[in-house]
Amino acid sequence: MIIRKILLIVFGISWLISCKNETADPVEVCFERDVLPILSNSCAYNDCHNPDDRAGGIQLTTYNGVLRAVTPNNYRASKLYTSMVTFPVMPPKPYDRLGVEDLSIIAAWIEQGAKNNSCPPANCDTTNVSLSADVRPILSKYCGGCHMTNNPQGNVDFRTYDDLRIYVDDGSLTGSINHISPWSQMPKGSGKIPACSINIIDAWLHNGALNN
Ligand code: HEC
């Protein structure tokens, strides 16, 4: 029963997040756009599965690294998935477990053959950018696992506007996402976030980084 429920959610979600491009397969889950951000955000903490630490020999910030924990077309046989739903659940405390939506995306991607696919970028609209509607969702998706929790990595906390403002004002927010020295490259251990997301954050900064 539970498996059927999960499958329903899996295919429901994969339909919901499917590529908006009309010519694309409507149920395709894309590794780069949909799966990698979840793993980079929830598994690449310090001492965990990033390129430097490779806890347990596993690193989850590249396709080849992820594939080693996956049996394509069979999410229930894939360590990547089972480790997140069976004891001892990954990621371990104090980090948050993945929500059902993220689990469903991962399961759907595996069921679809665990392909190294990326979807065509959506049109990028950088007009009238606001913190709450545009910037916060990007920060949650790509940075929240490390910087919006009770134990923020590197003590860098984005939860309140005042906290975030520290990294706006010292230049490290834009420096880190654009991979500009001397700032640490973010997200830690992963490639840059999509160009459109960077452009949206930079547009918000350019307009005064308002609490809007
Ligand atoms: C997997 C965990 C992780 C993710 C995801 C992550 N960070 Fe970080 N971040 C860190 C750690 C750890 C540090 C401490 C510095 C270091 O180790 O490089 C840090 C430091 C920073 C700093 C301070 C940089 C400096 O040089 O002083 C900024 C700014 C930052 N992160 C922004 C972001 C942004 C923006 C995102 C999302 C696009 C993000 N981080 C995603 C782990 C992460």
Pocket of ligand 1, candidates 153, 177, 202: which has the most ligand atoms within 8 Å of its Cβ, to mutate? 153
**pLDDT confidence bin for 155, thresholds 50/70/90:** very high
Query: Could you tell me where the DSSP H helices lie in the chain?
Result: 2-16, 36-43, 63-67, 79-85, 100-111, 136-142, 144-147, 161-169, 172-177, 195-206
CB 28 within 8 A of CB 7: no
**How far is the C-alpha of 18 from the C-alpha of 27, rounded, in Å?**
5
Ligand 1 site residues, Cβ closer than 6 angstroms: 40-41, 44-46, 142-143, 145-147, 153-154, 156, 167, 172-173, 176-177, 183-184, 186-188, 193
Q: Which two tokens stand for residue 160?
A: 């309140």
In angstroms, what is the span from residue 202 Cα to ligand 1's centroid? 17
**How far is the C-alpha of 164 from the C-alpha of 123, rounded, in Å?**
27
- Residue spans of the domains in the chain: they are 2-111, 131-206
Q: Which two tokens stand for residue 8?
A: 């329903």
Residue type, 212: N
Write out pLDDT tens, residues 52-102.
Answer: 889 999 999 999 999 999 999 999 999 999 999 999 899 988 888 999 999
**How far is the C-alpha of 14 from the C-alpha of 29, rounded, in Å?**
6
**What count of other Cβ atoms lies within 10 Å of the Cβ of residue 81?**
22
Atom of ligand 1 nearest to the CA of 183: 26
Write out pLDDT tens, residues 19-38.
Answer: 444 444 447 899 988 999 99
Angle at the Cα of 107 from the Cα atoms of 93 and 45, rounded to 5 degrees: 30
For residue 196, the 8-state DSSP code is: H
